[in-house]
Structure 1
Amino acid sequence: MKNWISRLRGGSDNTADTKAAPAAAEADEHPGGIPAEIEATYYRWLTASSGYDASDAVQTAILDQVRALARDPASAAELVPRVPEVIPQLLRSLQDEASNADLARQVAQDVVLVAEVIREANSAYYRPMSPVKTVEAALMMLGQNGLRMLLARVAFRPIIKLQTTGFTRLAAPHVWAQSEKCALAASLMAPGLTAGAFEAYLSGLMQNLGLVVGFRLADRLCEENKVPGSSEFGAQLLAEGRLLSAAIAKHWDFPQEVADAIAHAGDAGDENLAQALALGDRIAKLRMLIDSHVIDEDDDFVTDGLDNFQRRCLGKLGTVES
Structure 2
Amino acid sequence: MKKWLNRLIGGTDGGAPASTAPAPVADTAAAAPADTGVDLAWYRWLTASGEPDTGGGDGAVLLERLHALARDPAGAAGLVPRVPEVVPQLLHSLADEGASTADLARQVAQDVVLVAEVIREANSAYYRPITPVKNAEAAIVMLGENGLRMLLARIAFRPVINMPADRFVRHAIPRVWDQSVKCALAASLMAPGLSTGVFECYLAGLMQNLGLVIGLRLAGQLRSEGLLPGAPGFAPAFVPALLDASRQLSAAIALHWDFPRDVAEAIAAAGQPGAAHLAQALAQGDRIAKLRMLVDAHVLGENDALVSDGLSSFQRRCFGKLDGLEH
- TM-score tier (shorter): 0.7 to 0.9
1:1-322 pair list within 5 angstroms = 35-49=35-49, 56-83=56-83, 97-98=97-98, 101=101, 103-222=104-223, 226-267=231-272, 269-322=274-327
Change (3 A) 1:143 1:50: farther
For 2:300, what is the secondary structure of its paired residue? coil
**Amino acid in the other structure paired with 1:166:** R
For 1:167, what is the secondary structure of its paired residue? coil
Query: Any idea what the Cα deviations from partners look like across 1:35-77, whole Å, max 9, x if unmatched?
Result: 2211111111112257885965531100011011001111111
Shift of 1:160: 0.9
Shift of 1:231: 3.3
User: Once the two structures are aligned, what percentage of the paired residues are identical?
Assistant: 62
Query: Any idea what the Cα deviations from partners look like across 1:235-284, whole Å, max 9, x if unmatched?
Result: 11111100100001111111111111111113162411111111100100
1:239/1:266 contact within 8 Å kept? no
CA distance in 2, matches of 1:208, 1:64: 18
Q: What is residue 10 of structure 1 aligned with on the other side?
A: none
Shift of 1:140: 1.4
Change (3 A) 1:144 1:48: same
Shift of 1:307: 0.5
**Amino acid in the other structure paired with 2:266:** A
For 2:168, what is the secondary structure of its paired residue? helix
Query: Any idea what the Cα deviations from partners look like across 1:275-320, whole Å, max 9, x if unmatched?
Result: 1111100100000000000111111111221110000000000031
CA distance in 2, matches of 1:181, 1:299: 20
Query: Any idea what the Cα deviations from partners look like across 1:121-153, whole Å, max 9, x if unmatched?
Result: 111222211111011111111111111111110
Change (3 A) 1:187 1:129: same
CA distance in 2, matches of 1:114, 1:68: 40
Change (3 A) 1:49 1:154: same
CA distance in 2, matches of 1:272, 1:92: 29
Higher mean displacement: 205-214 or 119-128: 119-128
TM-score scaled by length of structure 1: 0.82
CA distance in 2, matches of 1:170, 1:142: 32
CA distance in 2, matches of 1:253, 1:78: 15
Higher mean displacement: 163-172 or 50-59: 50-59
Change (3 A) 1:231 1:88: farther
5+ residue gaps, structure 1: 1-30
Change (3 A) 1:251 1:83: farther
CA distance in 2, matches of 1:40, 1:100: 48
**Amino acid in the other structure paired with 1:240:** A
TM-score scaled by length of structure 2: 0.81
5+ residue gaps, structure 2: 1-30
Query: How many residue pairs were aligned?
Result: 292
CA distance in 2, matches of 1:185, 1:33: 18
Higher helix share: 1
Shift of 1:224: 8.1
- Segments ≥4 residues shifted beyond 6 Å: 85-95
CA distance in 2, matches of 1:58, 1:249: 28
Query: Any idea what the Cα deviations from partners look like across 1:11-47, whole Å, max 9, x if unmatched?
Result: xxxxxxxxxxxxxxxxxxxx96872211111111112
